A = this chain, B = another copy of it.
Amino acid sequence: MNFVGSHILSVDQFDRSAMEQVFSVADEMTPYALRRRITRVLEGAILSNMFLEPSTRTRISFGCAFNMLGGEVRETTELKASALAKGESLHDTARVLSGYSDVIAMRHPDAGSVAEFAQASRVPVLNAGDGPNEHPSQALLDLYTIRKELKSRDRGVDGLRIAMVGDLKYGRAVHSLCKLLSLHDRIHYKLVAPPGLGLPGDMVERLREKDHQVSEYEQLEMGIDHVDIVYVTRTQEERFPSQEEADRYRGLFRLNQAIYTQHCEPNTVIMHPLPRDSRAQAQELDDDLIENPNLAIFRQTDNGVLVRMALFALVLDVADEVHNHAQPVTWYTAKRFT
């Protein structure tokens, strides 16, 4: 895969070597994200950060990743504040915006919309989530985290045993991660979902066709034993036909320290694409896990900055130039990432 000038729209674009390339550049970004030094390699470049659906985490992660490379960020945070609300087509918006900026990150509520937008764009477009469809940078940061967590246990991804828990029907993070993992050898997917929210049948089929093992469970305790990773998701309430229907599923699976101790292997890594639902009725990950050193959820979001920096550096062809524009950090950074 040639990243330079490319759109990043789907995990389907990635093979193992392309992933390796992203992760290798992400590793190189570490001193900048940790603020041991800064780089000005993208000084003067502009990111249009187009978020046409509510988001804090991903929007700020993309924006900060671009700032950490030295670039500027212009943002849109709402559909209704945009020309699209006046009947403009995605094509026109793309043609116009791509005359203003050097790269575009876009989130949109409709599946396929970001790809349609990218077709008309004259600059690279990064899909930051198109409804229930794709969110490739999330899947990449999840896999990057899995690799780092396993590496600290002297393991690789081949032969991984992973439990995926919760809303596996609407969770695009799960869908994309399943695909990226399937590029590896002998993955054992243990799918834990309530009836009606299981992984779509065609996805299960494709994983099995690639000689991976897929087991399905309706009870949390059965699915989370003998795994390396427990990947928990929140119910994607905003994707349900009605709030009432979503409410039926709230709080069905809850992982807490007692269940973890009783059922998981001692080093099982706990992941979550975040945000996790911390309201009393939901709490798919209990607060009492916060001291568990295997809780990797904030290492995931920290890694997200590295992966997004890597994607920007690759599509804008500055991955090899980053260190040539490095400068010392002047300010206090001691508490960060402790």
Residues A123 and B81 in contact in the complex (CB < 8 Å), given A60-B76, A301-B99, A330-B321 = no
Residues A54 and B72 in contact in the complex (CB < 8 Å), given A96-B274, A330-B41 = no
Interface residues in A60-118 (C-beta closer than 8 Å to B):
60-61, 63-64, 67-68, 70, 72-78, 80-89, 91-93, 95-102
**B333 contacts A102, C-beta separation under 8 Å:** yes
**A56 contacts B82, C-beta separation under 8 Å:** yes
The number of chain A residues touching the other chain, given as a range, is 35 or more
Q: A331 contacts which chain B residues (CB < 8 A)? A: 41-42, 45, 102, 316-318
| Alpha-carbon distance A300/B327, docked complex (angstroms) | 36
Verify if A157 is at the interface (C-beta below 8 Å from B): no
Q: Look across to chain B and name the residue whose beta carbon is closest to the beta carbon of A72.
A: B67
Choice from B60, B73, B87, B277 contacting A97 with Cβ under 8 Å: B60
| Alpha-carbon distance A35/B335, docked complex (angstroms) | 33
Interface residues in A190-222 (C-beta closer than 8 Å to B):
none
Verify if A234 is at the interface (C-beta below 8 Å from B): yes
Protomer copies = 3
Residues A99 and B330 in contact in the complex (CB < 8 Å), given A63-B74, A122-B338, A277-B88 = no
Convert A265-278 into 0s and 1s, putting 1 for each residue whose CB lies closer than 8 angstroms to a CB of B.
00000000011111
Verify if A24 is at the interface (C-beta below 8 Å from B): no
**B74 contacts A46, C-beta separation under 8 Å:** no
Q: Look across to chain B and name the residue whose beta carbon is closest to the beta carbon of A93.
A: B56
**A74 contacts B74, C-beta separation under 8 Å:** no
Choice from B75, B102, B301, B332 contacting A96 with Cβ under 8 Å: B301
| Alpha-carbon distance A211/B213, docked complex (angstroms) | 77
Q: Look across to chain B and name the residue whose beta carbon is closest to the beta carbon of A51.
A: B81
Verify if A315 is at the interface (C-beta below 8 Å from B): yes
Residues A48 and B74 in contact in the complex (CB < 8 Å), given A278-B89, A332-B5 = no
**A64 contacts B100, C-beta separation under 8 Å:** yes
Choice from B38, B74, B332 contacting A317 with Cβ under 8 Å: B332
Besides A42-B331, A72-B73, 12 more A-B contacts (Cβ < 8 Å) are A4-B332, A48-B64, A55-B83, A56-B97, A60-B101, A61-B100, A64-B74, A88-B276, A92-B275, A99-B337, A315-B332, A316-B332
List residues of chain A with CB under 8 Å of any chain B CB: 4-5, 35, 38-46, 48, 54-57, 60-61, 63-64, 67-68, 70, 72-78, 80-89, 91-93, 95-102, 122-123, 234, 237-238, 274-279, 282, 287, 290, 297-298, 301-302, 305, 315-318, 321, 325, 327, 329-338
14 contacts between A and B (CB under 8 A): A38-B44, A43-B327, A44-B70, A55-B81, A55-B83, A56-B97, A60-B74, A61-B100, A63-B74, A64-B74, A75-B75, A86-B234, A86-B277, A122-B336
* In the A-B complex, the 5 residue pairs with the closest CB atoms: A38-B44, A88-B275, A87-B277, A89-B278, A83-B275
